[in-house]
Amino acid sequence: MKTRIVSLLAVLTLSLVISGPAFAHHSMSMYDSSRETTFKATITQFDWANPHAQITFTASDEHGNIEKWVAEGPSPNRLANGGWSKESLKPGDQVTIVGNRNKNGSPTMRFEKVILPNGQELQGRRHYF
């Protein structure tokens, strides 16, 4: 009987440890989805990594000051399904980034799409209506 209880506790503990990362995932409610913002941006870094790809870029504010921004997107797998690759963006690339700013005013956003200099649009997330 004692062995059975210890085994059950071990299985329960292991289940909690394995499922822990799933509970850590955050929602996108921190971004203002009611307003889109567009930046003429210079890519400084593109992180093709789970759980979310990230684009670090610089852009001028309304006074001409250069600001550093971080844009979060879907997972690399979802981006790859939409035509992206880890080579899609490189430091120095001049692009247009469209997305939703963080509600707290920090220089972070969720990107909806990136428009390359040749006019090609890379979708950050697909809209299903």
∠ Cα 115 124 43 (to 5°): 50
Q: Could you say which residues of the chain have pLDDT below 70? A: 1, 4-28, 126-129
CB 107 within 8 Å of CB 69: yes
Task: Identify the pLDDT of residue 62.
Answer: 87
Task: Identify the pLDDT of residue 7.
Answer: 56
Task: Identify the pLDDT of residue 126.
Answer: 61
Task: Identify the pLDDT of residue 3.
Answer: 72
For residue 55, CA distances in Å to 7, 47, 64, 107 come to: 45, 6, 21, 12
